[in-house]
Amino acid sequence: MLQRMIVAMHLSCHNEFDQGENMTSFPNPPGVSLPPGHPLQAWQQYWQLMAGDPDKLRQWQQQWLAQHAQLWDQLLHRRAGEPAEPVVPQVRGDKRFSSPAWQESPIFDYLRQAYWINAQMLTRWVEESDFPDGKTKARARFLVRQIVDALAPSNFAATNPEFIRQALETQGESIRRGIANLLEDLHKGHISMTDESAFEVGRNLAVTPGAVIAENPLMQLIQYAPLTEKVGERPLLIVPPNINKFYILDLQPENSLVRFALEQGHTVFMISWKNPGITEAHYGWDDYLELGPLRALQIVREVTGVSDPNALGFCVGGTMLSCALAVARARGETPVRSLTLMTTLLDFAESGELGCLVDEASVTAREAAIGKGGLMLGSELANTFSALRANDLVWNYVVNNYLKGEAPKPFDLLYWNSDSTNLPGPFVTYYLRNMYLENNLRVPNKLTMLGEPVSLTRLDMPAYVMAAREDHIVPWRGAYLSQHLLGGPRRFVLGASGHIAGAINPASKNRRSYWINEALPEEPEAWLSAAQEQPGSWWWDWARWLEAHKGKLVPARTTLGNDQYRPIEPAPGRYVKEPALPLVREPVV
């Protein structure tokens, strides 16, 4: 029952992009009518394609049956005590079946291999089928992966030998703990990924000293205290995404990008977005540009006396920052000296799996529901992003928390990942339609923002564009295509790992690697084929690049803000502490 409930929940998590229906069963078979834009249409088309090519289907079925016959023969040999080679060897890197318990028992080893035969066949059917377009194929690929991940034998008590062994060894105590964990998570409204009691924003997260020096209905502006006696005269404004909280850039001292920038002699300002509630549900894209980056830049100039600060945007924050700068350039201003974009899309032609879930019908439905006012809840966003990596961010914790009865370990990044934010409906619908659906931002002067036609080609300041090679949210090829839209000199750097681990790769640990190539050919693959891999964190490369833009050294300011913008409260401020979900006041016993 639990598995079925969670499968349904994660299939229905696409209601961020669909018509708000709850899907409580597995995908419909061919012939069942689905409304336009329904996420399961790709699944329906998948089966229709199968039925339309009986010869190919028959061939695949024969191969599938042959593998299962071979697997059954192997099971009989093992049951008889005879040696037998596995039909499907242990899949490298798959932690779900890494325990020796899966190989020690012929029955559980059979279940593991049968699962992989079925999973590989379903995946192959998608990859080798001719869908009407790439987006439909991407949707089918996504849905098949959701089902394949959900139905792994490791997710079920009766078919997981680790659950059985642990229950026997603890005399049922692990089952009791697992049920208690499940009840507690049901009370919280989300799956626990970390020990949430181990962290508190302002106590051991987001602790870099500073003060909130200004605020409005959408953001607080933080100025951080200097860490060097002298600083560059040009300050640095950081614009984080508003789909999650800014302290991913200031987790703890050893992995804080904010602290690293301060140590390099920069005066750092940070936008902290408000977690919107009902009173902010009417704000749209233009409001975020005006009250966010544009207002923050104005304050930074007034506090420091510098007309052209440096600016950094991360993820959606980079998209908003670029749009705000394009508005300023349309007004004839020179808004910043340099621009840094971290894992940011401006050209949404290659927008990954999030893009494949957006179509005309789903966006129209969202516009009707919340386009003129309303909220997209943080829980919806969290479920959608978790579904993109369901094995790592859903089923891993279902197994550990509920089947094994284990307590999640403290992990600052996962605490941040669970700290959801809401989004105003008008902002969401504008973003979905004009970026993901119609890709209008890449067309010069097609969009008007704050009364100005925007063209990214007007952004002629030096730009540092960073992408992550394994990023599933902002595919690096999409980020590479995006940098071609900018009008000034550019440096493109490709970091290792994914959307967060690739971006937050602390210089103090200097792990992983990054790729550089001074040339910027049109095609991403051409760039990569000639790129040189460099060991360590890309932060050092960025620091060297930004050094040339920070201006002459001046004595660090001894006070934060000025007479007009006096400190309101210590960093990180109260906006970042506002939860998207109801607070849990009484634990479940």
Q: pLDDT tens, 449-463?
A: 999 999 999 999 999
Mean pLDDT of 526-535: 97
At 13 the pLDDT is: 35
User: 43 pLDDT band (50/70/90 cuts)?
Assistant: low
Helices 54-79 & 106-127 angle (0-180, nearest 10): 170
Structure tokens at 461: 């300041």
At 67 the pLDDT is: 93
Amino acid in the structure at residue 460: D
Mean pLDDT of 515-531: 97
Q: Per-residue pLDDT for 25 more than 70?
A: no
Ramachandran category for residue 551: left, alpha or beta (phi over 0 → left; psi -120 to 50 → alpha): left
Q: Domain boundaries in the chain?
A: 2-188, 210-349+439-577
Q: Which of 119-133, 154-168, 478-492 is predicted with the least confidence, judged by mean pLDDT?
A: 119-133
Q: Per-residue pLDDT for 478 more than 80?
A: yes
Q: Per-residue pLDDT for 33 more than 80?
A: no
Mean pLDDT of 97-125: 92
Whether 369 contacts 20, CB under 8 Å: yes
Whether 278 contacts 527, CB under 8 Å: no
Q: Which of 13, 315, 323, 356 is catalytic?
A: 315
User: 321 pLDDT band (50/70/90 cuts)?
Assistant: very high
Average pLDDT along the chain: 89
Whether 390 contacts 146, CB under 8 Å: yes
Mean pLDDT of 65-90: 89
Whether 487 contacts 473, CB under 8 Å: no
Query: How far is it, in rounded angstroms, from Cα 139 to Cα 356?
Result: 6
Amino acid in the structure at residue 500: I
Q: Per-residue pLDDT for 377 more than 70?
A: yes
At 479 the pLDDT is: 97
Q: Which of 20-34, 110-124, 146-160, 560-574 is predicted with the least confidence, judged by mean pLDDT?
A: 20-34
User: 47 pLDDT band (50/70/90 cuts)?
Assistant: low
Q: Per-residue pLDDT for 61 more than 60?
A: yes
At 50 the pLDDT is: 62
From residue 402, give the alpha-carbon distance in Å to each of 154, 197, 343, 396, 518: 12, 19, 34, 10, 50
At 30 the pLDDT is: 41
Q: Per-residue pLDDT for 510 more than 90?
A: no
pLDDT tens string 240-257: 999 999 999 999 999 999
| Gyration radius (Cα) of the chain, Å | 26
Mean pLDDT of 47-66: 78
Whether 331 contacts 458, CB under 8 Å: no
Show the DSSP H helices in 12-96 as ranges: 41-52, 54-79
Query: How far is it, in rounded angstroms, from Cα 493 to Cα 539?
Result: 10
Contacts of 530 (CB under 8 A, 6+ apart): 517, 519
Whether 356 contacts 480, CB under 8 Å: no
| Residue whose structure tokens are 């084929």 | 529
Task: Report the DSSP beta bridge partners of residue 569.
Answer: 212
Q: Which CATH superfamily is domain 210-349+439-577 in?
A: Alpha/Beta hydrolase fold, catalytic domain (3.40.50.1820)
Sign of the Cα pseudo-torsion (547, 548, 551, 553, in order) = positive
SS3 312: strand
Whether 394 contacts 387, CB under 8 Å: yes
Amino acid in the structure at residue 408: P
| Residue whose structure tokens are 């197994």 | 399
Query: How far is it, in rounded angstroms, from Cα 457 to Cα 435?
Result: 17
Q: Which of 195-204, 270-279, 383-392, 479-488 is predicted with the least confidence, judged by mean pLDDT?
A: 383-392
At 29 the pLDDT is: 40
The torsion angle over the Cα atoms of residues 285, 220, 483 and 425, rounded to 10 degrees, is -30
At 506 the pLDDT is: 93
From residue 437, give the alpha-carbon distance in Å to each of 166, 286, 376, 521: 48, 19, 18, 26
Whether 260 contacts 539, CB under 8 Å: yes
Mean pLDDT of 199-217: 97
pLDDT tens string 265-307: 999 999 999 999 999 999 999 999 999 999 999 999 999 999 9
Query: When comparing pLDDT for 328 and 85, which is higher?
Result: 328
User: 19 pLDDT band (50/70/90 cuts)?
Assistant: very low
Q: Per-residue pLDDT for 36 more than 80?
A: no
Q: Per-residue pLDDT for 131 more than 80?
A: no
Told to judge if 315 belongs to the known catalytic residues of this protein, a careful annotator would answer yes
